[in-house]
Amino acid sequence: MVWWSSEEGRARAQAGGVQVAASREVFFADSDVVLVHVRLKPHTRNHHGV
């Protein structure tokens, strides 16, 4: 599993020992399947019909 997220999220993932893609472009180019998880916060509300 390889992560990509906000800068803050990537820093937390790396601190936790999780593999983080070198860039967004690399993440999508190397991925066969992408799962999207969005934390419900004020700035994410109403994204994707939530």
Q: What is the pLDDT of residue 44?
A: 75
Which parts of 1-50 fold into alpha helices (H)? 7-15, 24-30
Q: What is the pLDDT of residue 40?
A: 80
Q: What is the pLDDT of residue 45?
A: 74
Residue 50: pLDDT over 60: no
In this structure, how many other beta carbons lie within 10 angstroms of the beta carbon of residue 27?
A: 16
Map residue 49 onto helix, strand or coil: helix
Residue 46: pLDDT over 80: no
Residue 47: pLDDT over 70: no
The residue that leads in pLDDT, 28 or 48, is 28
Residue 32: C-alpha distances to residues 2, 7, 9, 43 (Å)? 11, 23, 22, 29
Euclidean distance between CA atoms 9 and 23, whole angstroms:
13
Q: What is the pLDDT of residue 36?
A: 86
